[in-house]
Structure 1
């Protein structure tokens, strides 16, 4: 038993007063002499015994009366558990990821969780967070208003992120009893550990289990190959279960049907389907699959823009046929200039500039190259055999100057397959091939080597859109032109000089996207769709703008890129497909948690543990009873 006013218990010491009054005779008696007291002796003895009993009974009832009154004012109570004795805080994580669309026939898991919270949420010191929002230190009424407006999202927090957020919330609190409630379907992608223990809070898991459903999803799409007339669009679809029922996949541009096909998942859970489409611009592409499972993964948005030609400028006093054969139509538009006859207007608008064995670099060219590099262009430097006067240019691009010249044959044997330039270029990592060679070269110190000699020195180094060879590539000095390496190296550098827009981008990743448009200094690009109008972070280069999607919260769909209400491009976003697997964690194998079947079950148990039985009314009743007993004793007991 506990007391709300324990300091009043000191009044129990006052019970000594009635003891003193009753047990000590404070009144003096006067003796009277009688002639014959023998007759009265027996009566006097009996009267004294009766009076003494009455006094003791009255003493006991008064002591009990006062004790009950004192205890009643001290407000005694009995708690249902230790939780009722301390102020506790409750933090709720509500999973609003797309996998919560699964459920039973009446409603999906997310709607069920919402309704149960609205019906059972009560009390103070409550907080709630989802995969996208936080609602800390709110009253129950405020939380209910926020919960009604929650929507599903493509983002999902891992358990580590959930735990870290809870630790940050409870760490500043001094309460010993804090509860973290997780309401989710607990997919395996949440990555729950096998044992949980935390000094700041207790874990309470509410798992919303779903009936077994077949969910087919559109996972990805890409262009397999293109021709001037057609493009081959390949789509990858998957299912969480094998099914004999065929599934229909359709491709649209807006409301125009471009193609339709059926697939089955009878043998594999993943399948591919191809659509041969006309090589035309598709602004509002949409792929749909007919499926009764989760709805978020039944659509895949995409667009196919008209990619501008990559502007290539070759500055050389020697033959450049090998470069002109690589940079051809329709991907590239190539211009050749003599070092002393350069069109700097065209140079400043180029995407790729190649300096091929220039004996003397003009100062005007060096100055313009630095400016063009700042505007986002890529530069390839192929030095002359003597390489005189290159130090200033190399230093401006972050390279050290060439060291001593090596007049000896060197084989090019090393390929950095993991370099971003060569990533996904080679099917196999070939270690033994017909090595190209150079007869004379320069020693180049670089930590970003792409191709190297047998001694480990760099033959080709590159970084930050600048690529530097350490040897001349003319036929007299090297047979690299005849090597199978020359085409992928130069071709990949050319493609990387202008980022081609993908069919679509994922909403949970940060992307840098090039928009080929020439903007004035006071103009900005907008991402627009319906009532959505967002100004992304962007960098204006010469005849292109690079936009970043890092700080933008976008929904899946097709968007326009606009400049002053004029559409200059299109872009598409899709949610990641991590929620489509529908495989769940078995919570019974995790130690340190308590599992509930519903929100109602948790709050019912929590409220029961927080109950306090107040006893002061009972003590008031007992005091009245003892008062009545005392009055009866005084009146009727002789």
Structure 2
């Protein structure tokens, strides 16, 4: 039993007063003398005993009366909580698009929101968190109004992020009884681990929402191959989670125009790639659509774009080499080779990649142009000649403030180390190569550059290194690549190395991007210094993070946009069309077992429904007041005293 006003109980000490009154102010008996006292002695004895009994009964009833009144005013109650404590419940409702599926009562998100509205208590306060919003310290009425407007989002929070946000509010106050309620479908893409809950002392309740269907076919990804002047091959990767499916229709659209349609079959729990031959068009705004009734419908269509005119400008200055022409092919690059005496300096700023290919000397005019080119965001590859003039090269390097080179060392060395962790070699090798015919270099230059090595000799000196200079990149080969000095051009390393350097100089737009991911987009265009680009469609528009240089525009998107579809990159005119699709992780039908998680942690309780959770919580926090019972006891005590005074004869 607990008391709302326990300080009133100190009045119980005052009950000693009626006890003293009854003990020291007893009624005194008068003596009357009779001749025959034998009978009177007997009467006197009986009267004294009856009178004392009556007085003790009256004392007891009055003590009970005052005690009951004091207890009634202190307002006693039974409850698991203290009435002085405020009950605060932090509720997380997962509103990711995976909850846009059908459960027993309807769409999971709307059903969850409605059940919360029907069960929240007006006596409690709440903090309400979704993947997109956080409402702090709201009343039940405010919470109901918020829940009526809750909608889906492509944003997704991990359980760890949810708990950190709630804990950051520091709700564990002395006068608050806090709890955390997490309502989600608990897809395994959240990667929930038991140790994420170890630092949380507040009780946590997990409520899982479940869809009726458990199978799903999704468009996992697409890629373009065999791209030429006439057509290209669209490769559509489909993913099946569940039993085998047959005769599923799939259609390809260019805007609203139907390009191709067929049906496919796919085995249980597998991926399948379907190829479509599509005729080239200037701009292809593609949409893929499958017709299948499964758990998730949002992944049954997919947006992509193909920009045929977008290529990377590459210029080689110095020695002409056939192997460069074979690497920088015209399907991806616009490649040109010129000698140092025939350079058109007007085209230098328009390049994305320039190769300084085995020149003996670097003229000062070219040195100035290349320095500006790199500082403004261009990529430069420097391949020295065997007979390079060290002073000329050092003069160029000093302009860039990157260090210097020293005399050519005549020591044949093997290139034995590939730095696989460098972004340039990402997805190039399926595994680290051990048995490999390593290329050899006869002579090389020592350099003091503090760059990142990409390829290294057997003595751990760098053969190819990467340096960031201003807004651009510089790649330094420490030795000439001519066949008289090295067999590197005959090595399998030459193609992925130079090709990836070329592609990294301008990150041309991909066929599609994923929402809520870090996406870098570079456009081969230039705008004025005071101009900005925006990304927009018919529904929304925003200005992304961007960096303008003389030869490209770099754009970064993360949390925006938030809806899939086609978007235009716009300055004064439309520069490019790109497309976004939902995160592929939202299509998973793999969900975690919250009962197993709760069995491993005593601080966690799992529930099958929102209604059962709130019913238990309301019963647990229900207050059973006892003051009426004590008031009734006081009235009974008063009536008992009246009865004793009226009917008890002494």
Q: After TM superposition, give the deviation of residue 265 of structure 1 in Å.
A: 1.8
- Corresponding residue for residue 331 of structure 1: 332
Contact 2:567 2:577 in 1 (8 A): yes
Q: Distance in 2 between matches of 1:31 and 1:595?
A: 81
- Corresponding residue for residue 298 of structure 1: 300
Q: Distance in 2 between matches of 1:31 and 1:412?
A: 132
- Corresponding residue for residue 255 of structure 2: 254
- Corresponding residue for residue 315 of structure 2: 313
- Corresponding residue for residue 452 of structure 2: 448
Decide whether aligned partners of structure 1 residues 325 and 246 sit closer, same or farther in structure 2, where only a CA change above 3 A counts.
Answer: closer
Write the mapping of 1:493-572 to structure 2, written as runs, cut at 5 A.
493-564=501-572, 566-572=573-579
- Corresponding residue for residue 401 of structure 1: 404
Matched residue SS, 2:576: strand
Q: After TM superposition, give the deviation of residue 502 of structure 1 in Å.
A: 0.1
Q: After TM superposition, give the deviation of residue 40 of structure 1 in Å.
A: 5.2
Contact 1:171 1:200 in 2 (8 A): no
Matched residue SS, 1:359: coil
What TM-score comes out, normalization by structure 2 length? 0.90
Q: After TM superposition, give the deviation of residue 471 of structure 1 in Å.
A: 1.9
- Corresponding residue for residue 13 of structure 1: 13
Decide whether aligned partners of structure 1 residues 125 and 266 sit closer, same or farther in structure 2, where only a CA change above 3 A counts.
Answer: same
- Corresponding residue for residue 575 of structure 1: 582
1:461 to 453, 459, 465: 465
Decide whether aligned partners of structure 1 residues 121 and 387 sit closer, same or farther in structure 2, where only a CA change above 3 A counts.
Answer: farther
Contact 1:170 1:201 in 2 (8 A): no
Matched residue SS, 2:189: helix
Q: After TM superposition, give the deviation of residue 427 of structure 1 in Å.
A: 6.0
Q: Distance in 1 between matches of 2:552 and 2:94?
A: 40
Matched residue SS, 2:405: coil
Matched residue SS, 1:226: coil
Matched residue SS, 1:471: coil
- 1:492-520 CA-to-partner distances (Å, cap 9, x unmatched) read 32222221100111112112211233211
- Corresponding residue for residue 116 of structure 1: 115
Contact 2:216 2:241 in 1 (8 A): yes
- 1:411-465 CA-to-partner distances (Å, cap 9, x unmatched) read 4444444433333345675555555444432124565233333433222222442
Q: Distance in 1 between matches of 2:327 and 2:33?
A: 148
Decide whether aligned partners of structure 1 residues 57 and 390 sit closer, same or farther in structure 2, where only a CA change above 3 A counts.
Answer: same
Contact 1:83 1:609 in 2 (8 A): no
Q: Distance in 2 between matches of 1:624 and 1:427?
A: 89
- 1:189-243 CA-to-partner distances (Å, cap 9, x unmatched) read 3333357545521121112233343211010001022111010010101111122
- Corresponding residue for residue 630 of structure 1: 641
Contact 2:241 2:268 in 1 (8 A): no
Contact 1:283 1:570 in 2 (8 A): no
Q: After TM superposition, give the deviation of residue 482 of structure 1 in Å.
A: 4.4
Decide whether aligned partners of structure 1 residues 355 and 33 sit closer, same or farther in structure 2, where only a CA change above 3 A counts.
Answer: same
Contact 1:519 1:543 in 2 (8 A): no
- 1:463-492 CA-to-partner distances (Å, cap 9, x unmatched) read 442111112334544444444543443333
Decide whether aligned partners of structure 1 residues 604 and 422 sit closer, same or farther in structure 2, where only a CA change above 3 A counts.
Answer: closer
Q: After TM superposition, give the deviation of residue 120 of structure 1 in Å.
A: 0.6
Contact 2:522 2:555 in 1 (8 A): yes
Moved more, 412-421 or 352-361: 412-421
Q: Distance in 2 between matches of 1:343 and 1:53?
A: 127
Matched residue SS, 2:424: coil
Contact 2:4 2:84 in 1 (8 A): no
- Corresponding residue for residue 100 of structure 2: 101
Contact 2:282 2:309 in 1 (8 A): no
In the alignment, structure 1 segments of 5+ residues that lack a partner are none
- 1:545-570 CA-to-partner distances (Å, cap 9, x unmatched) read 11110353422111111123x32211
Contact 2:515 2:581 in 1 (8 A): yes
Q: Distance in 1 between matches of 2:151 and 2:283?
A: 30
Q: Distance in 1 between matches of 2:69 and 2:496?
A: 96
2:596 to 589, 606, 626: 589
Matched, 1:200 2:201: yes
Q: Distance in 2 between matches of 1:496 and 1:35?
A: 135
- Corresponding residue for residue 605 of structure 1: 616
Matched, 1:217 2:218: yes
What TM-score comes out, normalization by structure 1 length? 0.91
- Corresponding residue for residue 145 of structure 1: 145
- 1:144-176 CA-to-partner distances (Å, cap 9, x unmatched) read 222222222333333333333343344653468
Decide whether aligned partners of structure 1 residues 397 and 511 sit closer, same or farther in structure 2, where only a CA change above 3 A counts.
Answer: farther
Moved more, 124-133 or 330-339: 330-339
Moved more, 437-446 or 362-371: 437-446
Decide whether aligned partners of structure 1 residues 416 and 336 sit closer, same or farther in structure 2, where only a CA change above 3 A counts.
Answer: same
Q: After TM superposition, give the deviation of residue 143 of structure 1 in Å.
A: 1.4
- 1:33-78 CA-to-partner distances (Å, cap 9, x unmatched) read 5677667555555444443333332222222222222221222222
Decide whether aligned partners of structure 1 residues 74 and 309 sit closer, same or farther in structure 2, where only a CA change above 3 A counts.
Answer: closer
- 1:338-390 CA-to-partner distances (Å, cap 9, x unmatched) read 43553322112221112123333222322222221122211011123233221
Q: Distance in 1 between matches of 2:48 and 2:492?
A: 130
Q: After TM superposition, give the deviation of residue 395 of structure 1 in Å.
A: 4.5
Q: After TM superposition, give the deviation of residue 142 of structure 1 in Å.
A: 1.3
Q: Distance in 2 between matches of 1:584 and 1:478?
A: 56
Count of residue pairs brought into register by the alignment:
635
Matched residue SS, 1:164: helix
Matched residue SS, 2:180: strand
Decide whether aligned partners of structure 1 residues 55 and 435 sit closer, same or farther in structure 2, where only a CA change above 3 A counts.
Answer: closer
Q: Distance in 2 between matches of 1:368 and 1:483?
A: 32
Matched residue SS, 2:304: strand
- Corresponding residue for residue 64 of structure 1: 64
